[in-house]
Structure 1
Amino acid sequence: MTRPATTRYFTSYSGTKLPLNLVGEIDAASMNNRNTYFRGSYDASGQLVSCEKVVYGEIELRHDYHYHADGRLARAEIDDGSGDSNVIDYPA
């Protein structure tokens, strides 16, 4: 997996397709006033490589994304906190 270049924070996401579309960006200084937020890590090309829903300081949901060389989604690994990760592969 490509190491994240930046981490950004959001209030929610929109849509149903993967990768999630994080919306309502907030700055890191506002994090002390929030109980729930999404933390997105982006690679150097700006693609979302991981997304976490944080509730009261605990990670409730995590998505990890891997991409084909052309930028299309290749794999989504989804951990809903149950201990069983779901993997969705997208063919080349």
Structure 2
Amino acid sequence: MNKEKTTCRYFTTYSGVKLPFKLVGELGEHEIRNRNTFFRGYFDADGVLLGFQKMVYGDVELEHQYSYGEDGNLREADITDVDGEVMRL
């Protein structure tokens, strides 16, 4: 995920069962200081979710990275679990 060309925002959780997940419960940066668990989402200039990280006690527990086709539909998702195992869908 090219974080230089993205905007990072924070959320309490996600919704949905289909990829890409929808991040919900947006938090301000000051609100994550005392949270044990939150989601860090990365969005492009158009507000499209490029990926997210589930943060638990300061560590990345889960990461999704999304890529989209020219039609705007999800093309691939790379999912990294807590053990660093990557699954491509």
By the TM > 0.5 criterion, same fold?
Answer: yes
The aligned counterpart of 2:40 is: 39
The percentage of counterpart residues that share the same residue type is 49
Q: TM-score, normalised by structure 2?
A: 0.92
Question: Normalising by structure 1, what TM-score?
Answer: 0.89
Contact 1:40 1:48 survives alignment (8 Å):
yes
Q: Deviation of residue 5 (structure 1)?
A: 2.5
Once the 2 structures are TM-superposed, how far is the Cα of residue 2 of structure 1 from its aligned partner?
Answer: 5.8
Question: Counterpart of 2:73?
Answer: 72
Count of aligned residue pairs for this structure pair: 88
Cα-Cα RMSD: 1.3
| CA displacement 1:19-77 (0-9 Å, x = unmatched) | 11100001001111111000000011211111000000000000000000111000000
Q: 2:61 is paired with a residue of what secondary structure?
A: strand
* Secondary structure, counterpart of 1:29 in structure 2: helix
3-state secondary structure, aligned to 2:84: coil
Structure 1 residue 11: deviation in Å?
0.3
